[in-house]
Amino acid sequence: MTSVSRAIRDALLTGDKTAKVFAARKVARDWRLGRLTFTFDCTMPDRPAWPAQVELRLPRDMPRRGRGGSEKGRIALWHSLAHIEFVAIDLALDMAGRFGESMGQAFVSDFLSVAADEAMHFAILERKLDSLGSFYGALPAHDGLWSAARDTAHDVAARLAIVPMVLEARGLDVTPATLTRVRAQGDENGAKILQRILDDEIRHVAFGAKHFRAICAARGENPPKSWRNLVKRHFSGRLKPPFNDSARSAAGLSRDFYEGIA
Q: What is the pLDDT of residues 79-89, one digit of tens each?
A: 999 999 999 99
Q: How far is CA 228 from CA 13, 25, 223, 260, 261, in A?
A: 33, 33, 9, 8, 7
Q: Once rounded to an integer, what is the mean pLDDT over residues 96-123? A: 98
Structure confidence at residue 261 (pLDDT): 73
Percent of the chain with pLDDT over 70: 95
pLDDT tops 90 at residue 239 = no
pLDDT bracket for residue 11 (50, 70, 90)? very high
Q: Does the pLDDT at position 63 exceed 70? A: no
Q: Tens of pLDDT along 145-162? A: 899 999 999 999 999 999
pTM, rounded to two decimals: 0.95
217 has pLDDT over 80: yes
CA dist., res. 168 & res. 241, Å (int)? 15
Q: Tell me the CA distances in angstroms from 5 to 101, 111, 232, 244, one per residue in order.
A: 9, 13, 31, 35
The mean pLDDT of 234-245, rounded to a whole number, is 89
What percent of the chain has a predicted confidence (pLDDT) above 90?
85
